[in-house]
Every structure is written in structure tokens, then in C-alpha cells.
Amino acid sequence: MKQKGSILEFVNRRGFLSALPYGLGATALALTQGATASDLTPHPSRFPAKAKRVVHLFMNGGPSQVDTFDPKPLLDKYHGKPVPEASLRTERKTAGVMRSPFKFQKYGQSGLEMSELFQLTGMRHADRLCVVRSMFAEVPNHEPSLMLMNTGDGRLPRPSFGSWLLYGLGTEGENLPAFVVLCPGGLPIVGVQNWRSAFLPGAFQGVHLDTSQTDPTRLLENLKHQKWNPVDRQEQMHLIANLNRDHLAKHPSKDAAHAAMQARMESFELAYRMQAEALGALDLADEPKILKDRYGDTTHGRQLMLARRLLERGVRMVQVWSGGGQPWDNHDGLEGQHRSLSRSWDQPICAFLDDLLQRGMLEDTLVLWGGEFGRTPVAEMPALSGRDHNHYGFSVWMAGGGVRGGTAYGATDDFGFQAVEKPVSVHDLHATMLHLLGFDHEKLTFRYAGRDFRLTDVHGEVVRGLLA
């Protein structure tokens, strides 16, 4: 006779998969979508790397380059007037040229010119920033541009940059996901496709934490179990593992069911370990007040402090999102919205770079800031208050991890519309980032459906001018 409340009674009554004691259902489900068994053990890179981890500060919606990192004095002269260049191919009719409402000035010994929106970052870290002013994407629409920036393809399901990074390097941590996504206020456009693993093993997919929550136990659903004690959880874990191994033995290693079960087993084991140790990483209560004050008690301040804690614990990639919607997509009211957004980011970014620098982590951490595209130098109809999407020219910046600090690379035209000097595609950016991480982007491949795939597909060149 089964003892009431025992593990066997529990399994018979509810089903062992439908009521896993460690919860984390979304994580487990995400990690079962792989094509082959994964290997997250640390791997050496192909050649000596400058960076070994990545933080991507994603300003979704498309921040305006001519209001942040690409000064264009000519906009003042033509403010409110028709564009004198017939080649400016905008999506919709415009209300004429719109000057930047923000002041630009030079910062640091390098004299890197930035707007007042990121004054603190400029004052402290201008000589560490490598601003790429000549980025370009493929289309002026959010969905494909988000996909392009995150996965290297704007149309087809492809693995994200973070997934490729885990495939190439594995992870240095055991009790946390190797690729963590910090996004407050719901999912961004196209949701988890931004950090999917696609045909790469499922364990390489990013795990989303809802950083609008201040309670660390609510960052991920069911992270803290309410009912079972550790002994019960361990017994259940052993039983489930044994059942899974029995099932696994019945399928050939190349069978899809084998791959799915292998990924599911790995996800269950990770979820079990996370319940025991993840809260120690996610709880900011032990951070000193002086450091919390530097970051600021805001969503982005908490996000970036959490990002640093995750990096310290071996997480390979952290993506930090600027909200679940499109906060930088300012078709009108740009002055107020860009000012508010930058105010919420400037102090935390400055503190984050300070923190990495003081801990000796910045030199091997690659930090990327930017959105999926930029904005037009002309205003939308009818008023001179906002800007439309612009994929022909925009800015991103990198810091740490072997980039050439205090640099403004490339240029857009006199109005800031199109990349004209040393243009850099998203594929070039990815190729350069992989190079800094110790990989030849043409050789980091995965065979699927009869061909070798790579992050940059058949494109991309390493931009040597961005390297220190």
C-alpha cells in the first residue's frame, strides 16, 4: 500500500510531467525545442579571445541617431524646410527637416561627440565607447529588423546571437541559464523569437525574466516552490530522471524523440538546481546601499545590477531590454520621450560600466548598446515633433571586450539619413563580435537540413577599425 503523500502516490495521481515540483514550466518548455543533445560545458574558442561574455542593451523601437550619438548641425539650418536631397527615401510624407532638440558636446580625451541625453555616460566613459555611426539594416519595419539584429535573418527562423554564443563557448555556470533575457512589462514584438535557439539544441535558448517585478521570487514563475521540502524534491527528481533515461534508451541518438528527451532532461535538472540557488543571484538585498544608489532604484538600474550579478556567476550572455513594447519608437513627442528614456538609462549604464571596470570584468565583457534601426532626420506629418523609422543609417556603440574606445567609426550623410562612409551591416557587426569572442564567423557552423548554417549566413566581414 502506497504511503499517502509519497512520491509514487503523487505520480499516479497527477502525472509526473504535469506537476513538476520545481515549476519553471516556460523554461522547461523552451528548452525542449532542440534538434540534438546539447553540450553546455565550457569550450575553448578557435583563437585567443578578447571577450568571453556579452551584454546586449537593447533599445527596442529604434532610438534616433541624430539625437544621441550622430551630431548633424545642418539640421538646424534646414529646420522646418523641405529636404534638399531627393534621395532621402522615407516611408511616409514628411513635415520637413527636424533639428535635434538636444545639445551635443565633446567628452573625454578622445573628444567623442554625444548629446546631452547620455551626459553621465559621456563624462565617465566616452573614452571607452566605440560608436558605430554607419550601421544599416534591410527594411524599415520592426519585426524583420528585430529578427535581423537578434538572429541575423529578418524572415526565417534562425538561432539568436546568444544561442550561437552558447553553441560555440558553452557556459561557466551550472546553476543558472547560460543565456538570460531581462525584459520588463511583457514580451517585445515577435516575443521569444528574439532569443530563440531554432535548430540549435534547445538548451541554448534564452530564458526570460520579467524584471518589472521587484520580488526576486517572481522574476520567473514558480522559481520558489511552496509545498515540498528538499528531500521530496530530490526523490521526485531522481524518479523522473530514471523514467526519462529508460525512455531515452529506446530511441536512437539521431532520433528526434531522443533529442527532445535529452533537452527536456537537461532543462529539468537546470530547473531543479535553479530552485536551490538562483534566488541567491536574483535577490539584490545583499548589495550595499551606496552601490544601489549609483545604479538608481529604477527598473533599468535593477536590471543592470542583476546583469552584473549574473555575469559574475558564469552566465555567458545577458540581454537587457528597454521595456516589452517599443519605447523608443517616437513618431511624435520625441523630445519628451527620448529625454525620459535616456534619463532612465544614462545613470544605470554609467554605474554598470563603472562596476565592471572596478571588478576587472570590463576588459573581457563585450557590451553592445542599440536598437533595431534608427530614425529619419525629417519629421512626420503634420508637426515637427517626431521621426519615422530609418534603416539606411543609424548608430550603435560597444564597450569593453577588445573594442577601440573613444572612437566614432563611419559616418552618415550631412543630414544623418544614410550610411555613406565605412558602412557596417548587421552581419558585419555580428562577424566582428564573434571575432572578439574568439571565432571565425565563417567557421562557426551547424549542419541542419543538409547544409551548414552560420549566424552571418553568406554575409559579413570583420570590421578591423573597431578593434583595439
pLDDT digits (tens, 9 = 90+) for 74-98: 999 999 998 877 667 777 788 899 9
C-alpha cell of 275? 530552485
Parallel, antiparallel, or unpaired for β 374-380 and 94-97? Answer: antiparallel
pTM of the model: 0.87
pLDDT in tens, 188-224: 999 999 999 999 988 899 999 999 999 988 888 766 6
Name residues whose C-beta falls within 8 Å of residue 450's C-beta, 6 or more positions apart in sequence.
Answer: none
Banded pLDDT at 254 (limits 50, 70, 90): low
What ranges do the domains of the chain cover? 42-221+289-466
Sign of CA dihedral 175, 348, 398, 146: positive
DSSP string, 152-171: S-SSS----HHHHHHHHH--
Average pLDDT, integer, range 10-18: 37
Phi, psi angles (nearest 5°) of residue 201? -50, 145
User: Other CB atoms closer than 10 Å to residue 442's CB: what's the count?
Assistant: 15
Percent of the residues in the chain that have a pLDDT greater than 90, as a whole number: 69
Is residue 241 scored above 80 in pLDDT? no
What is the pLDDT, as a whole number, of residue 88? 78
Give the model's pLDDT for residue 122: 98
CATH architecture, domain 42-221+289-466: 3-Layer(aba) Sandwich (3.40)
Residue 326 has pLDDT above 70, yes or no: yes
How many Å separate Cα 292 from the centre of its chain? 23
Mean of the pLDDT values across residues 455-462?
97
Question: Residue 26 — pLDDT band, cuts 50, 70, 90?
Answer: very low
- Taking all residues of the chain, what is their mean pLDDT, rounded to a whole number? 87
